[in-house]
Amino acid sequence: MSKKELFDYIRGNMFVSCQGTCAKGNPFYTPERLLLMAKAAYRGGCIGFRANTPEIISLIKRVYPDVPMIGIWKQYTFGNDVYITPSMREVDRIAEIGCEIIALDGTHRKNADGEYAWEIIPKVKAKYPNIAIMADIGTIEDAKYSYEAGADIIATTMSGYTENTADKTDTCDFQLIKDIRSMYPDIFIIAEGRIWTREDAQAAMDCGADSIVVGSAVTDPQCITQRFVKHLNAHK
Ligand SMILES: CC(=O)N[C@H](C=O)[C@@H](O)[C@H](O)[C@H](O)COP(=O)(O)O
């Protein structure tokens, strides 16, 4: 599938992120259980998956070789905040599994090797011309750097999770989607992060997203429960 065919296929549809990342100790965070999540999501009609680590991506790909996969490999380095597919090392490993899309941190921060995403993106593009590069960004400045570096997809994933975006609401960053769309009318935008309801999904599309990724609201019972409990406690 060419990138254009891929984009036509996924436009207007939903990916499910099978990670179960709410907190350490999440009982769903085993490869077998995340595969079950992927199976349920696929039966529900999602167009593709987002998954973390070569092990889990491979497991899902073995069952669904033709279903688009947004592959990531999170690496946490002490003293550095860039963790979503932070360098070419992780890209190389997940590229060989056959991901259609690879997402990497697209924020304007240096990784543990001292490299910015805008330096990594062109190298990934040259090495893997058939894989779509998804830049997980947090601000419109990040979007600009990633776009100019050649990212194929801009995603709102990191909004609310970086120092300069920490003060965000409980829902998806709709304003950021609008800002990206008005600055780049033709870029493929994926809305990701804190999409909890069908209304959120629709709002993301109305703001200019091409496609969405939903994680916790589908695949993280611990996180979903926490939200209910927090709400009830706050309104006692
Ligand atoms: C910030 C960060 O590390 N986000 C991660 C990206 O892979 C995941 O933890 C999220 O679950 C994913 O983005 C989907 O978002 P939500 O679970 O809110 O639907």
Residue 213: its H or E element: strand 211-214
Substitution site in 157, 169, 224 for ligand 1 pocket (most atoms within 8 Å of beta carbon): 157
Q: Encoding tokens for residue 166?
A: 């920490």
pLDDT at 167 over 80: no
**Across 187-200, average pLDDT:** 98
Which superfamily, per CATH, for 3-234? Aldolase class I (3.20.20.70)
Q: What is the per-residue pLDDT for 28?
A: 83
Tell me the percentage of the chain whose pLDDT exceeds 70: 98
The pLDDT-based confidence of 165 (bands split at 50, 70, 90) is confident
Count other Cβ atoms within 10 Å, centred on residue 33: 15
Substitution site in 15, 18, 21 for ligand 1 pocket (most atoms within 8 Å of beta carbon): 21
pLDDT at 17 over 60: yes
Q: Which ligand 1 atom is nearest residue 160's CA?
A: 1
**157: CA distance to ligand 1 center in Å?**
6
**Across 136-144, average pLDDT:** 98
Query: Tens of pLDDT along 41-58?
Result: 999 999 999 999 999 999
Q: What is the per-residue pLDDT for 172?
A: 96
Give the distance, in angstroms, between the CA of residue 72 and the centroid of all CA atoms in the same chain: 8
Cα distances from 11 to residues 73, 191, 225, in angstroms, run 24, 12, 31
The pLDDT-based confidence of 24 (bands split at 50, 70, 90) is low
Which range (9-13, 89-93, 123-127, 167-171) has the least confidence?
167-171
The pLDDT-based confidence of 23 (bands split at 50, 70, 90) is low
Q: What is the per-residue pLDDT for 26?
A: 81
Q: Encoding tokens for residue 209?
A: 């997203």
> Are 121 and 151 spatial neighbours (Cβ–Cβ below 8 Å)?
yes
Mean pLDDT for the chain overall: 95
**6: CA distance to ligand 1 center in Å?**
22
Q: Encoding tokens for residue 130?
A: 């058939």
Higher pLDDT, 105 or 168: 105
**Across 110-135, average pLDDT:** 98
Q: Which ligand 1 atom is nearest residue 74's CA?
A: 7
Which range (7-21, 145-159, 180-194) has the least confidence?
7-21
Long-range contacts of 202-210 (CB under 8 A, 24+ apart): 203/172, 203/174, 204/172, 204/174, 204/177, 205/12, 207/174, 207/175, 207/177, 207/178, 207/181, 208/177, 208/178, 208/180, 208/181, 208/182, 209/177, 210/7, 210/10, 210/11, 210/12
Contacting residues for 159 by C-beta, under 8 A, at least 6 apart: 137, 138, 139, 165, 168, 173, 176, 193
pLDDT at 22 over 60: no
In single-letter form, the type of residue at position 125 comes to: K
In single-letter form, the type of residue at position 208 comes to: G
